[in-house]
Amino acid sequence: MTIHWYPGHMHKANKEIKETLAQIDLIIEVLDSRIPFSSQNPLLSELRGNKLCIKVLTKSDLADPKLTNKWQTWLEQEQGVKTLALTTEQPERIRQLVDLSRKMVKTLPGKRQIINAMIMGIPNVGKSSLINILASRTIAKTGNEPAVTKSQQRINIGNDFMLFDTPGVLWPKVENEPSMYRLAVSGAVKDTAYEYDDIAFFAAEYLLSAYPDSLKQRYQFTKTPTNELALLEAIGRKRGCLRSGGHIDLDKASKILLTELRSGKLGSISLETPDMIQQELTALVIKQEAEAQLKDNKRKKKKKSYHP
């Protein structure tokens, strides 16, 4: 699957972030609790260096709480990283970010009167709502459409705490293909960037494996469908997504499944686990090594043909 999702302002945003990082004490990266790995910006690990980082897992009410705990443990294995799981309905918990930031920055050499923190995250992850709560006023524009914030801004939170806001930064290419699908399933990518049924088939396959009871309860199935096509057709029949001749409208059924998954109507669901990601990354390394070897063999063969 290919998703075209890297508009021009994203390149500008990445450049601005690199220029600003020199004056930053700490980074706050906002992640989606349902996809903590897939919603991480791989460029951040390169840009961050050894800077302190708080990874905020938003929308925790939509995620499987047991898996969220596992993800926090997994993420905090990295040196200098702390995590905080929350929702935008928990303003007091969100304000703990400032105290946690101060506590972490105190460990840095040299006295810092003013704390400079940079907040970043993918589009539609709840970053703007979080900023407005921290600032106790409406500063950042919010919305369900990805890519609302277009330029960097500096916000004085008060009490010697300065917050540098960045646009919802994406990256040119997602190396791990399942992560690309999960970003689309969660709503991080604009709907115009992909086909609904393609994404819905991916979601259906996963849900049948990981959360069959949630599907059965939501759609009142007497018997849970056995594969993704059967699931979408069953949802279509339940919701009246019919075309002439009694055929199921898979596009409409796909939209229903994705909309209800994103809104939490299927229950608290996480779309990835640490073990799953580890397996995918191992497979990705093997694939990349094989591709590199094939490319090298072709290069050698081509070179040899020029020198008989």
- CATH number belonging to the domain at 8-165, selected among 3.40.50.12780, 3.40.50.720, 3.40.50.300, 3.40.640.10: 3.40.50.300
pLDDT at 60: 96
- Three-class SS state of 30: strand
Q: How far is CA 276 from CA 33, 61, 119, 131, 188, in A?
A: 15, 21, 28, 32, 20
Q: Enumerate the β-bridge partners of residue 118.
A: 27, 164
The low-confidence residues of the chain, meaning pLDDT below 70, are: 1-14, 111-112, 140-152, 167-172, 192-193, 303-308
pLDDT at 196: 84
pTM of the model: 0.86
CATH 1.10.1580.10 assigned to 195-262 = yes
Q: CA-CA distance, 32 to 27, in Å (whole number)?
A: 16
Q: CA-CA distance, 229 to 222, in Å (whole number)?
A: 17
* Chain mean pLDDT for the chain: 86
Residue 187 makes CB contacts below 8 A (sequence gap 6+) with 124, 144, 146, 258, 262
Looking at residue 173, the DSSP 8-state letter turns out to be: -
Reading the block at residue 82, the tokens are: 């702390």
Q: pLDDT per residue over 218-245, tens digit each?
A: 999 999 999 999 999 999 999 999 998 8
User: What are the domain boundaries of the chain?
Assistant: 8-165, 195-262, 276-308
**Which residue, 182, 231, 179, 185, is CA-closest to 205?**
231
Q: How many CA atoms lie within 13 A of 128 on its CB side?
A: 21
Q: Please provide residue 189's backbone torsions phi and psi, each rounded to the nearest 5 degrees.
A: -110, 140
| Number of Cβ atoms within 10 Å of the Cβ of 83 | 21
Reading the block at residue 191, the tokens are: 């709907």
Question: Is the separation of the CB atoms in 54 and 30 below 8 Å?
Answer: no
Q: How many residues does the chain have?
A: 308
- Three-class SS state of 286: helix
Q: CA-CA distance, 75 to 63, in Å (whole number)?
A: 16
